[in-house]
Amino acid sequence: MEIIKVKCTNCHTEIYIQNNHVREKMFCTLGCMNSYKSQSQKTESN
């Protein structure tokens, strides 16, 4: 188990996480995830 540094997809804050939990899109908080989700939905509807 190794700890690696990734960046939040929304605000680019550094996040430290175990390498076996890394996903394509990572978020530092639920607020960032919701903000990113609502931004992408607005883009798709245009």
pLDDT at 9: 97
pLDDT value at residue 46 = 65
Cα–Cα distance, 18 to 46 (Å, whole number): 37
List the domain boundaries for the chain: 3-45
Q: What is the pLDDT of residues 1-46, one digit of tens each?
A: 899 999 999 999 999 999 999 999 999 999 999 999 998 887 777 6
Q: Which residues is 5 bridged to in the sheet?
A: 16
